[in-house]
Amino acid sequence: MKNFRFSLYHYLRSSQCQVSCHGTRQRLFSASQENIAESKKGPLDGIRICDMSRVLTGPYCTMILGDMGADVIKIERPDGGDETRGWGPPFVESESCYFLSINRNKKGICVDVKHEKGKEILYNLVEKSDVFIENFVPGKMSELGFGYEDLKQINPGLVYASISGFGSHGPDHKKPGYDLIASAMGGLLSITGQKDGEICRPGIAITDIMTGMFTLNAIIAALYERIESGCGKMIDASLFQTQLAMLSYVGAGVLNSNIDAARYGTAHPSIVPYQIFDTLDGKIVLVVANDVEFNNICKVLGIAEISSNEQFSINEKRIENREELILILQNILQSKTTNEWSDLFEGREINWSRINNVKQAFDSPLAQDLNMIQTFQHPTAGKIKVPGPAMNYGNNYNINNTPPPLLGEHTCEILKNLLNYTEEEIRTLVELNVVNE
C-alpha cells in the first residue's frame, strides 16, 4: 500500500489535481503545496478543514483531525458562537469546560453566513479546503447555498461530511439530533441499567462521540481515495446509524436469535463472572474471560474445587448457573478489603480493577505515563487542562498543542493571510457585522 503522505505530496503536484471551477478559476484539491512540503507537525499536516459543526459530535471529530496536524478552521456565528460556550458549570473563568474539552488545535472565525458577503467568505474558504463538515438538520445547508452539490462546483475535490440525528432521508430525517434521543430510539438505553432497576443514561454522550469517530474514519478514507480518483466525496453520518452499529454483538444476538436483549447492570450476557463485586470496604471489577482464568480465580479465592464442578466448569454452564455462582463469589469477596484482595491478586494473572472516580483515573501513574492530560495557557482562562488524545504518533506526543479559540479570535488573521482580504475590506466587513474581530 502506498504511503499516504508520500502519495498525497506527489499527487498535489500532479496535473490531475487541477480542475476548472467557475469557468476559468483553477485550484488545487488540497491545501497549499508549501504547507505540504514543510510538513513537520503530523500525519495530516497540509490538510485544511472547514468546520461548520457545533456542540459535540462534529467538534470532537475535527479536534482529532487537528490533533493529527490538520489545519482546522472553526466557523461560528457572531451572536454567541457554538452553543457549548455557554454550557456549564463548570467554567474556567468565563470559559465553559465543555467547549474547552473538544475544541483544541483549531482556529476560530466568526462569520454571518446568511449575509451575502459572509457567504462569499465561506465559499472562499471552501475553495482552499480539503474537508467541509457540518451537523445541521438535513436540508439546512442546501437552503443556505452550502449543500454538497453547491460546494463541489467550487471545489470538486472537497470531502463533504454531513452529520445528522437520523440520516438525510426517511421519516425522521428532520428531527434534531440529540444523543439521548438517539440512544433511546436505537436501543442503547433499553440495555443500560440494573436488571430489575431503572434505565440509566450512560455517563457520557457515547453516541455523539462515536459518531464523531466514525465520521473521522470516513473522512480519512475519503482523503486517501481522492489521491487516486481526484474526486471528493459526500459522507452522510447519523447518530441513529452509529447507535445501531455500536450494538455489535448484542445486535447480532437479537437479529439471529429473535430474542430481545436485556439489562445486566455491570454483568455480561455471554461471560460469567464479568461484573462489579462488593469487597469489605468498597467495590472491584472482576473479569473471567475463559476457563483457565476461572481456574485461577477459584484458586486465589480458596474454592479450587468448584472450577471442576459440572455446574461451573465451562462458560456455558456458568451462564446457566449465573445467580448461584455470583452469590458464592460475592460472599467470599466481601470477606476482605480491596487492598487485601489487591495483594492476593498481584502476579496471579487475575483480571480485576478498583473502580476509580474520574479524578483518580487522571491522577493515576498510567494516565501520567501516557500523557493523557494536556495543559494549555488560555488567553482569558489562564492555565487549563483537558483530556489528551487517545493515540500517540511515533515519538510525537500532542502533535498540535494550541488552546481552544476565543470567539472569532482568528477572524482577521484568516481573512488577511489565507483569503487575501485587504485591511479596508476587513474593516467594511466588521462595520457590516458580517464578521467579528
Number of domains in the chain: 2
Mark whether 228 and 278 lie in a shared domain: no
Task: Give the CATH number of the domain where residue 151 resides.
Answer: 3.40.50.10540
Q: Tell me whether residue 49 is in a domain.
A: yes
Grid coordinates representing 198?
Answer: 431503572
Mark whether 80 and 214 lie in a shared domain: yes
How many CB atoms neighbour CB 122 within 10 A? 22
Mark whether 319 and 172 lie in a shared domain: no
Distance CA 157, CA 14 (A): 14
Q: Tell me whether residue 199 is in a domain.
A: yes
Q: Tell me whether residue 360 is in a domain.
A: no
24: Cβ contacts below 8 Å, ≥ 6 apart: none
Distance CA 378, CA 109 (A): 17
Among 421, 433, 330, 404, which Cα is nearest to 51's? 404
Annotated catalytic residue within 79, 208, 260, 343: 208
How many CB atoms neighbour CB 308 within 10 A? 10
Grid coordinates representing 136?
Answer: 445541521
332: Cβ contacts below 8 Å, ≥ 6 apart: 301, 302, 303
For residue 390, the model assigns a pLDDT of: 87
- Told to judge if 130 belongs to the known catalytic residues of this protein, a careful annotator would answer no
For residue 5, the model assigns a pLDDT of: 38
CB 126 within 8 A of CB 50: yes
Mark whether 173 and 32 lie in a shared domain: yes
CB 246 within 8 A of CB 174: no
Mark whether 228 and 285 lie in a shared domain: no
Backbone angles phi, psi at 219, to 5 degrees: -65, -50
Domain limits for position 291: 274-355
Q: Tell me whether residue 119 is in a domain.
A: yes
DSSP code at position 377:
E
Provide the pairing of β-strand 18-21 with 25-28: antiparallel
Mark whether 33 and 105 lie in a shared domain: yes
Per-residue pLDDT tens digits of the chain, which is 437 residues long: 334 433 443 344 333 443 433 322 233 334 444 444 444 568 898 999 999 999 999 999 999 999 999 999 999 999 889 999 999 899 998 899 999 999 999 999 999 999 999 999 999 999 999 999 999 999 999 999 999 999 999 999 999 999 999 988 888 887 888 999 999 999 999 999 998 899 999 999 999 999 999 999 999 999 999 999 999 999 999 999 999 999 999 999 999 999 999 999 999 999 999 999 999 999 999 999 999 999 999 999 999 999 989 999 999 999 999 999 999 999 999 999 999 999 999 888 899 999 999 999 999 999 998 889 989 899 988 999 999 888 877 665 555 589 999 999 999 999 999 999 999 999 999 999 999 87
Whether omega for the bond prior to residue 89 falls within 30 degrees of 0, making it cis, is yes
For residue 16, the model assigns a pLDDT of: 40
Please give the C-alpha separations between residue 17 and each of 26, 33, 130, 218, in angstroms, as whole numbers. 10, 12, 12, 21
Mark whether 289 and 407 lie in a shared domain: no
Distance CA 220, CA 51 (A): 15
Q: Tell me whether residue 265 is in a domain.
A: no
Provide the CB-side half-sphere exposure for 234 (13 A, CA): 10
**Residue that is last in its domain, among 327, 355, 383:** 355
For residue 55, the model assigns a pLDDT of: 94
Task: Give the CATH number of the domain where residue 290 resides.
Answer: 3.30.1540.10
Distance CA 417, CA 426 (A): 12
For residue 398, the model assigns a pLDDT of: 52
Q: Tell me whether residue 75 is in a domain.
A: yes
Cβ neighbourhood burial of 79 (10 Å; 0-12, 13-18, 19+): exposed
Distance CA 177, CA 270 (A): 32
Long-range pairs of 36-39 with CB within 8 A, sequence gap ≥ 24: 36/8, 36/9, 36/12, 37/9, 39/5, 39/9, 39/69
How would you classify residue 20: left for phi > 0, otherwise alpha for psi between -120 and 50, otherwise beta? Answer: beta
Mark whether 331 and 212 lie in a shared domain: no
One-letter identity of residue 205: A
Distance CA 414, CA 421 (A): 9
Grid coordinates representing 40?
Answer: 513537520
With the CA atoms of 141, 145, 150 and 155 taken in that order, what torsion angle do they form, in degrees rounded to the nearest 10? -90
Mark whether 225 and 289 lie in a shared domain: no
| 3-state secondary structure (DSSP) of residue 66 | helix
Neighbour order of strands in the sheet with 283-287: 274-278, 283-287, 351-354
Mark whether 299 and 426 lie in a shared domain: no
Helix, strand counts (H, E) of the chain: 19, 15
For residue 348, the model assigns a pLDDT of: 87
pTM of the prediction?
A: 0.86
For residue 304, the model assigns a pLDDT of: 93
CB 240 within 8 A of CB 165: yes
Mark whether 312 and 188 lie in a shared domain: no
Q: Count how many residues are written for the chain.
A: 437
Q: Tell me whether residue 337 is in a domain.
A: yes
Provide the pairing of β-strand 131-134 with 159-164: parallel
One-letter identity of residue 17: C
Mark whether 18 and 146 lie in a shared domain: yes
The continuous run of DSSP H or E covering 110 comes out as: strand 107-110
Q: Tell me whether residue 251 is in a domain.
A: no
